[in-house]
Amino acid sequence: MPDQPIDPPSPPAATGMKKGLTSYGDTGFSLFLRKAFIKGAGFTDAALERPVIGITDTGSDYNPCHGNAPQLVQAVKRGVMLAGGLPMAFPTISVHESFAAPTSMFLRNLMSMDTEEMLRAQPMDAVVLIGGCDKTVPAQLMGAASAGLPAIQLITGSMLTGSHRGERVGACTDCRRYWGKFRAGEVDADEIAEVNDQLVASVGTCSVMGTASTMACIAEALGMTVPGGASPPAVTADRIRIAELTGARAVQMARDHLTIDRILTPEAFENAMRVLLAIGGSTNGIVHLAAIAGRMGLEIDMAALDRMGRQTPVLLDLKPSGQHYMEDFHHAGGMATLLRELKPLLRLDALTVTGRTLGEEIDAAGPGFRQEVVRTMANPIYPQGGIAVLSGNLAPGGAIIKQSAADARLMEHQGRAVVFDNLEDMASRIDSDELDVTADDVLVLRNIGPKGAPGMPEAGYIPIPRKLARAGVKDIVRLSDGRMSGTAFGTIVLHVTPESAIGGPLAHVKSGDQIRLSVARREITLLVSDDELAQRALDQPVTEPTADRGYRKLYLQSVTQADKGADFDFLKAAHMTGRVPRV
């Protein structure tokens, strides 16, 4: 497949079934025993001599976003065998957004550890990572980056859109929009039940530019999928063909020993960040990219990312920043269309899993055609990148806002803080008629950071207080140390770092304080003096959360802040070698 030679590989010491033998103190016996067991499944010696391609099967009845996993595994196996390899599917953890308590983010690092260790423990020359739902693709890329094998990502693909009373709907921007209408009394109980049947019209990942779609586009921009791997919906023939191609490609990667460190370079991360900004991608994409980069010894330079954002318009017209859905993006040519438009801003020499560079793949995709989903650089849907990086005394380690999904009227705003101490406090008071709140206030929610909830839940999309919603208020400035779903919208400041649970300034904001947001100046400021803040910290010291046992204990001891990807400190690369992006 490569049309230019790639650097000579340094072959691994052992390959195929001979890799990573179980320790019995006698390697000959270890291999003898391994082959005896696998022959119990009917394999021949000829099959066992082939390159072994692992396939992570993340199908789960709890994960409808991976509901097509059985067909994908079959298609990958077909591709592997057509190319002369031996496919070996194996299960790993699967994490779905709505079926993970307290939050899927709490389990992302566990999934990455599972993936890494099973890639290390089992004999395979390359691996196909099947992921889709929000945390799964980052978890797999993190694990594979640490394991160091040749690895290729296969996305499960987006769901189809549904229809409600003639209006096209899809998860989950429309889930939030209709729930907001229900809260405001604009939609009754019967209608909201009808909508519930239509929001997720098939298996597959959320149909808008949420975190799953964002990570699919990022995976392709990183060079970790075959060309065109991001956009085909889950239930299409295109998705199955991509799976077959992925399997075949994995075999060649094993033969070429095209390891992941040759793909996940600083240039690849720069391309991924450029794409994140240009698609109006989920704010979660930054956290995940920081975690994946950390595994490769790279730190995200948030100030440089903001500079990059100022030069990168949003081109993709998808909800929640725009109008369309993922299947429309696919019909518009998918990532090839976007990358062709972004070409002047990309690192074209970054190597991809095909063995060719990103620039070569863009050229190979051929000319574009008339379509309405990817705008031109001259006619963007938003003039700057979707995400702006803020700082100030309220967020010394930074915060972010998805400006492309915010209300332009509120981007320069000063208001009175209305503080909720945690999720329970918010749930008990947000809909009370007694809540002292106006549309000009700033809603503050704390203790939802990486350690706070724990797991940095997507609760930063604080609901509009019911009495304001009923009065027709559609947006209000909101601020927290948590995350929000990529499918959400509003003037919402997120990832305030350091978080309140470890004593960040957010812990000491009081209702009635003035807060100033200036997206133009990239500032988030608490209008309280340093002395007063220091006194408040002395008066009410913060006790960090702990746990007695188990994964929660490991998590609370080890999780890092949002700007470091909320990865575990012991999982990042042993040596940090640089910062990205270099703009």
From edge to edge, which strands make up the β-sheet containing 86-91? 86-91, 52-57, 126-131, 151-155
The CB-of-404 to ligand FES minimum distance in angstroms stands at 19
Q: Which is nearer to ligand FES, 134 or 563 (CB)?
A: 134
Residues of span 59-98 touching ligand FES by CB under 6 A: 65, 96-97
The CB-of-236 to ligand FES minimum distance in angstroms stands at 17
* Cα atoms found within 13 Å of the Cα of residue 91, Cβ hemisphere only: 7
For residue 91, list its beta bridge partners: 57
Decide: is 205 part of the binding site for ligand FES (CB under 6 A): yes
Decide: is 134 part of the binding site for ligand FES (CB under 6 A): yes
Decide: is 212 part of the binding site for ligand FES (CB under 6 A): yes
Pairing of strands 412-420, 514-518: antiparallel
The CB-of-156 to ligand FES minimum distance in angstroms stands at 9
Decide: is 206 part of the binding site for ligand FES (CB under 6 A): yes
Q: Which is nearer to ligand FES, 104 or 246 (CB)?
A: 104
Tokens of 21: 């033998």
Q: Which is nearer to ligand FES, 156 or 560 (CB)?
A: 156
Applying CB under 6 A, the span of 5-13, 111-119, 188-196, 202-210 interacting with ligand FES comes to 202-210
The CB-of-320 to ligand FES minimum distance in angstroms stands at 13
Distance CA 432, CA 146 (A): 48
Decide: is 398 part of the binding site for ligand FES (CB under 6 A): no
Pairing of strands 387-392, 298-300: unpaired
The CB-of-106 to ligand FES minimum distance in angstroms stands at 15
- Of 48, 52, 119, 133, which one interacts with ligand FES (CB under 6 A)? 133
Q: Pick the closest to residue 486 from 452, 460, 513, 520 (CA basis).
A: 460
Distance CA 470, CA 141 (A): 44
Decide: is 285 part of the binding site for ligand FES (CB under 6 A): no
Applying CB under 6 A, the span of 67-75, 203-211, 314-322, 556-564 interacting with ligand FES comes to 203-211
The CB-of-237 to ligand FES minimum distance in angstroms stands at 21
Instruction: Count interface residues toward ligand FES (CB under 6 A).
Output: 11
To the nearest 5 percent, what fractions of the chain are helix, strand and coil?
40, 15, 45
Tokens of 430: 């947000």
Q: Mask 153-172, x = binds ligand FES (CB under 6 A)?
A: ------------------xx
Contact 473, 440 (CB under 8 A): no
Judging by beta carbons within 10 Å of its beta carbon (0-12, 13-18, 19+), is residue 23 exposed, middle or buried? exposed
Q: Which residues contact 370 (CB under 8 A, 6 or more apart)?
A: none
CA distances from 541 to 422, 423, 442, 538 (A): 16, 20, 24, 6
The CB-of-140 to ligand FES minimum distance in angstroms stands at 14
Q: Which helix (H) or strand (E) holds 120?
A: helix 104-121
Distance CA 54, CA 49 (A): 15
The CB-of-481 to ligand FES minimum distance in angstroms stands at 22
- Of 143, 210, 285, 450, which one interacts with ligand FES (CB under 6 A)? 210
Distance CA 354, CA 365 (A): 13
Q: Which is nearer to ligand FES, 73 or 208 (CB)?
A: 208
Distance CA 216, CA 137 (A): 8
The CB-of-171 to ligand FES minimum distance in angstroms stands at 6
Binding site for ligand FES (CB under 6 A): 65, 96-97, 133-134, 171-172, 205-206, 210, 212
